[in-house]
Amino acid sequence: MAIHDVPKGYAALEERKNIGAHYTPTLLSDFVAAQIVNYLSSRTKSNVIRVLDPAVGDGELLISIVKMLTDHGFKNLQIFGYDTDPHAIQYAKERIEGHFPSIQVQLKNEDFLQVALSYTYLGLFNHPGNQYDVVIANPPYVRTQVMGAKESKILSRQFNLSGRVDLYHAFIIAISKVMCPGGIVGIIVSNRFMTTKGGESVRNGINKEFNVIHVWDFGDTQLFEAAVLPAVLLLERKKGDNNNGSPKFTSIYRTDSDKFTFQSQNCIDALKFDGVIKTSDGSFFVVKHGELAIDQTADGLWRLSNESSEAWLDKVEKFTFCTFGDIGKIRVGVKTTADKIFIRSDWEEIPENERPEVLKPLITHHIARKYRALEVDRNYQILYTHLNQGGSRVVINLQDYPKTAKYLNRYRSILEKRDYLVSSGRHWFEIWVPQEPALWAKPKIVFRDISSTPTFWMDLSGAIVNGDCYWLISEKPENDESLWLALAVANSSFIESFYDFRFNNKLYSGRRRFMTQYVEKFPIPDPKLSSSQKIIEVTKQIYNLIPNPIANELEIELDRLIWNAFGLSIEKISR
């Protein structure tokens, strides 16, 4: 069923979006079902196959899997499902029974997560000893921010998860509780869990409970009408300590390149090729095949690995002296939780005798530019409620700043509604996350969180960084020059390739997420080498010249120097 094709009495589109219910397009549903059945095809056809969809929705996944199973000779099928929407249950039941009137179908209007928690070997639906042979699922994507902290904590405790728990994380672990050993799971999830810290516990849970057979990262293919970047996992419930060998990994993302090797009907059909593929609607995708690599680090990110990518990363490692994280801690900017009160670009319009005394210049993403920030007519300033006193951060005394006190008291009723601040022992007028005032004066690299190309710049003004940007200072004075070296690496086409090989967490339109956990792993060559000294020199020249056209020419030269610093040639980019 198309996401906009809503039957009478069914949950409204906006309501479904709010709860993360983005129903599965037939193209993807058939693909998942085909992968499951291909893996099952060698098994005995006469055995009973118990199939479960824990989040039935419109029943599209169950229709696909039943059709695939029957087409491959599996006739003894029992179909089970759950959904919290009674209209969905009724509609899905009618659809499935309409297609397969002779197959036993049992759908229930219950919360699968709660059922899984109470599951015993007496079985579900009063079938003693029954566990599921096949699970096909597209669980709802509901993030912590939408669920709320309380619900998230409950799920974390119930399913042994940690960090920022998404609802589908809990579904993955819950599915393992109801599977028979050797059972097969095909599940559609957000690809975020593979490369974020918040996904660490569910990655660990999958590795513990399942053998990963194949991962397909569908990236920005727009298979869903909603802004979802999906991945498909094909998993086998472990039987003791069995392991199925090296899992496969396939990725497909949009590309600007129009130099295609093959043509296909759609992005699913494109998966049988490798390289740049043109689809019938005129889109271009790059398809990569390899194995699932799990980084041997604390967070164990999942990524695609093949011979060329591993050789590339190995070479970079040989020329890496340290990482950005070794220079200093990467911090997010300040968070006021009341920006309209604390952050303005029109403070100058307030009469000087009323203007708060503690205004400080504020860096926001609006002035983002490589190497050096843009100069704009009107900059933002922040009413900054903290200061450095004897090396420690302290809250300002409002009695010392009468104009600030008058301004803040005007909004006191609004600010006091931030009960989380007051209940933690803080003052009603504070900004929520002030960071350390003593650090603002130091030279710092500032960068945007989301950008199609890296956008890092040096700030020497001492301004405060807003929460829409991240920043990095040198923790040790002797590393100050390394900041300029890091700035050059961060803005290079080399780091784009490094990012794509190591993390490949892209959003729509090729945008990348430059989060702490990625940027702290960016490599830096030895600052003492003459090649590094040359990079630092050119980087400073660019900073001083921007926006002079000569700076553009120097950027091209600097990019070549960065590639060479890691033993690579810019002409040999292989993404």
Distances (CA, A) of 126 to 83, 119, 130, 163: 18, 11, 9, 35
Which residues touch 270 (CB under 8 Å, ≥6 apart)?
A: 252, 262, 264, 277, 279, 285, 287
CA 233, CA 230: separation in Å to the nearest integer?
A: 10
With cut-offs at 50, 70 and 90, classify the pLDDT of residue 14.
very low
CA 376, CA 367: separation in Å to the nearest integer?
A: 7
Write down the pLDDT at residue 326: 94
Q: Which residues of 128-146 are buried (b: 16+ CB within 10 A; e: fewer)?
A: eebbbbbbbbbbbbbbbee
Write down the pLDDT at residue 99: 93
Residue-wise pLDDT tens digits, 16-28:
444 445 578 899 9
Residue-wise pLDDT tens digits, 276-318:
999 999 999 999 999 998 876 666 789 898 898 899 999 999 9
Write down the pLDDT at residue 106: 94
CA 503, CA 44: separation in Å to the nearest integer?
A: 40
Write down the pLDDT at residue 507: 79
Write down the pLDDT at residue 344: 96
The stretch 51-63 carries a mean pLDDT of 95
Distances (CA, A) of 286 to 217, 270, 298, 503: 12, 9, 30, 16
Helix orientation angle between 530-545 and 480-490, rounded to the nearest 10 degrees: 80
User: What does the block give as tokens for 482?
Assistant: 């390394």
Residue 129 has pLDDT above 60, yes or no: no
- pTM of the entire predicted model: 0.82
Contact predicate 51/62, CB 8 Å: yes
User: What does the block give as tokens for 476?
Assistant: 């040790």
Tell me yes or no: is domain 13-238 CATH 3.40.50.300: no
Residue 509 DSSP one-character state: G
Residue 550 has pLDDT above 70, yes or no: yes
User: What does the block give as tokens for 418?
Assistant: 């931030």
The stretch 496-510 carries a mean pLDDT of 84
- The full set of domain ranges for the chain reads 13-238, 246-305, 329-473
Contact predicate 116/155, CB 8 Å: no
The stretch 510-527 carries a mean pLDDT of 91
Residue with more model confidence, 242 or 442? 442
With cut-offs at 50, 70 and 90, classify the pLDDT of residue 523.
very high
With cut-offs at 50, 70 and 90, classify the pLDDT of residue 226.
low
Write down the pLDDT at residue 51: 95
With cut-offs at 50, 70 and 90, classify the pLDDT of residue 167.
confident
Collapsed DSSP state (helix, strand, coil) of residue 464:
strand
Write down the pLDDT at residue 376: 82
Please choose, from the candidates 572, 570, 573, the residue with its C-alpha nearest in 3D space to the C-alpha of residue 555: 570
User: Among 8-12, 131-135, 205-209, 478-482, whose mean pLDDT is lowest?
Assistant: 8-12
User: What does the block give as tokens for 404?
Assistant: 């600030």
Q: Half-sphere exposure of residue 343, counting CA atoms within 13 Å on the CB side?
A: 18
Write down the pLDDT at residue 18: 45
With cut-offs at 50, 70 and 90, classify the pLDDT of residue 402.
very high
CA 540, CA 171: separation in Å to the nearest integer?
A: 51
Write down the pLDDT at residue 149: 60
Please give the single-letter amino acid code of residue 350: I
46 forms beta bridges with none
Residue 78 has pLDDT above 60, yes or no: yes
Write down the pLDDT at residue 227: 66
- Backbone angles phi and psi of 515, in degrees to 5: -90, 165
Residue-wise pLDDT tens digits, 448-486:
988 888 999 999 999 999 999 999 999 887 667 899 999
Contact predicate 81/108, CB 8 Å: yes
Residue with more model confidence, 5 or 493? 493
Q: Select, from the ranges 6-20, 42-56, 143-157, 287-301, the one with the highest average predicted confidence (pLDDT).
A: 42-56
User: What percentage of the chain exceeds 70 in pLDDT?
Assistant: 88
179 forms beta bridges with 132
Collapsed DSSP state (helix, strand, coil) of residue 331:
strand
- Backbone angles phi and psi of 163, in degrees to 5: 75, -155
Write down the pLDDT at residue 127: 46
User: What percentage of the chain exceeds 90 in pLDDT?
Assistant: 64
Cα radius of gyration rounded to whole Å, the chain: 27
Contact predicate 264/212, CB 8 Å: no
Residue 537 has pLDDT above 80, yes or no: yes
